[in-house]
Amino acid sequence: MFQASRGRRWAVVLLVPFLLGALLWAFWPVPAKPPAPRLARAPRAPRAAASADKPLRLAQASAPAQAAPAPAAPAPAVSRALPPPSPRALKLYQLGKKLGVHEPHLEDPCVAPSGTTCARTALAPFFESLDALSSRESSSPIVISAFGNSLIAGDRIVDVIREELGATFGDGGRGVLAVDRLANYGPRVRAGFARGGWEPRTLGEVKLAELPFGISGVYHRSTTTKASSRFALDREPRGTLWWLDVPRAGQLSVHADGKELARAEPQGSGQAQALSFDIPEGARNLEVVAEGRDAVVLGVVLQHQRPGIVLDTLGVPSADANLFLRAREDVFRAQLAERSPRLLLFILGGNEAKRLEWGRSNLAEVEEGLRTFVRRSRAAAPGSACLVVGPIDAVRGGSGAKRLAQRPYLDEVISIERQIALSEGCAFFDIFSAMGGSGSLARFVEARLVHDDLVHPRGHGLDILGQLITDALLRSWVDAADPNRQAALAPPLQASEEAR
């Protein structure tokens, strides 16, 4: 009798969360239809404010597809289903609902039509890699290379993407790391603990640095002997030091728990080099040491050989697509080919819009810069899928009625980014509309989720943006399993949006 009573109590304890979860899913609204195509360079018109009845949906199954003819292409061998929401995602759902955040939908265009259905979408290479991780058929990590500006340079947005995808598909490690943070504040998730003298330079600076950049857009040059950077290890079996062989530079050495693993000896060739090394099992710390002055480190790569997600944060403050083109092309191509990503993620547009407003750029330069950057990246990683994420809402300061009014040129930049993405065979995510459209950043400001500069979200504001991108990817991964549904997700470009 005692055991039976205890069993009933346990049954109630387990049943209550399940019923609560079922009620939560049941009352969320049905996904909306994708937005209509934008026209490139159309006259800017005010956007409608966010609808309060369109909250953020986190990791919810998509609506059933409408009846359609039998698909011409076979469905994926792996059954695709969205994972249950994490505790963080559920909290962000509640916050997003208060802020008027919309359901995240991205446009994943069909790149291989088959009659009335779609045989292959732009994101297929990445989704097939997720299938391999899900079915445990993959034996190695899947790399995402995320290029962006200060919005991701602090890592929090991409940390959410990395952690949410990693919880479902496995954690493959950290990827590309920097010698030190670019500022004396913020997290060190993607940077080492530097000692001694290191001078950081980025491609986002007004005056172009004298030495070439690689895919990270950053390099650190030693200004003292024995300058070092220490990285805590997480049982990674192997690593790579990216360094620049410049004249009169000091040697670089790599150590694990005080034992030297490898040494880079500059010859003055001016070429970028990659020095790979094995890491002893059980080692706790890795240290990169500049034996002399003027040694140049382009980055350190640490990741596991096990299956899982690796997300390289390649965010540079003040950067736009044209500034990323400052990276030396041969170094950029070699390093990106070495990383061999399955998804190229471009989170750009905010600085482009500001420079248009300030008269420092024009629409033709913005369009040419992004198109060239996308093409250069895809040429270096031809097996990768591609996703372009538009800019978030942006506001002006000031006072009175015009305080927190939307900045100009956002609509134009979003249109340009969308037309380039779809015409180049990439997916597109309008995060401006997903976060609530015009007025959304003002609501973030009122909720104290934006820094005093009125430009950069902070805290849970960044988390919401990361969750929106994550959910948009996962929902599209599930939708792409149905060729009938996918064929209608990204309408064809209008004539004015087609590539010239």
**Is the confidence at residue 24, as pLDDT, over 70?**
no
As given in the structure block, the two tokens for residue 257 are 């728990």
Name the β-bridge partners of 171: 309
As given in the structure block, the two tokens for residue 417 are 């980014």
The alpha helices in 173-325, defined as continuous H runs, are: 321-324
Q: Are 193 and 317 in contact (CB under 8 A)?
A: no
**Is the confidence at residue 184, as pLDDT, over 50?**
yes
Q: What is the mean pLDDT of residues 382-400?
A: 90
The alpha helices in 310-430, defined as continuous H runs, are: 321-324, 329-339, 350-357, 363-380, 410-423
CA 300, 170, 285: angle at the middle one, nearest 5? 35
- Model-level pTM? 0.83
As given in the structure block, the two tokens for residue 163 are 């952690």
Segment 402-425, tens digit of pLDDT: 788 888 999 999 999 999 999 999
Sign of the C-alpha dihedral computed for residues 266, 271, 272 and 277 taken in this order = negative
Q: Which of 29-33, 197-201, 330-334, 341-345 has the lowest average pLDDT?
A: 29-33
* 16 three-state secondary structure: helix
Question: What is the pLDDT confidence band of residue 55, given thresholds at 50, 70 and 90?
Answer: very low
Segment 359-375, tens digit of pLDDT: 999 999 999 999 999 99
The mean predicted confidence, pLDDT, of the chain is: 84
Distance CA 195, CA 227 (A): 6
pLDDT at residue 491, as a whole number: 57
Segment 321-361, tens digit of pLDDT: 999 999 999 999 999 999 999 999 999 999 999 999 999 99
Question: What is the pLDDT confidence band of residue 61, given thresholds at 50, 70 and 90?
Answer: very low
**Is the confidence at residue 22, as pLDDT, over 50?**
no
pLDDT at residue 174, as a whole number: 94
**Beta-carbon neighbour count of residue 112 at 10 Å?**
12
Burial class (CB in 10 A: 0-12, 13-18, 19+), 500: exposed
Which residue type occupies 143?
V
pLDDT at residue 68, as a whole number: 37
Q: Are 155 and 313 in contact (CB under 8 A)?
A: yes
**Is the confidence at residue 458, as pLDDT, over 60?**
yes
Q: Nearest CA to 342 among 301, 308, 304, 391?
A: 308
Q: What is the mean pLDDT of residues 452-456?
A: 90
Q: Are 347 and 147 in contact (CB under 8 A)?
A: yes
Q: Which residues lie below 8 Å from residue 425, measured CB to CB, with a gap of 6+?
A: 109, 111, 122, 386
pLDDT at residue 401, as a whole number: 66
Q: Which of 119-133, 186-200, 215-229, 418-432 has the lowest average pLDDT?
A: 186-200
Q: What is the mean pLDDT of residues 204-233?
A: 95
CA 350, 353, 356: angle at the middle one, nearest 5? 150
**Is the confidence at residue 492, as pLDDT, over 60?**
no
As given in the structure block, the two tokens for residue 318 are 């003040």
pLDDT at residue 332, as a whole number: 97
Segment 459-489, tens digit of pLDDT: 999 999 999 999 999 999 999 887 666 555 5
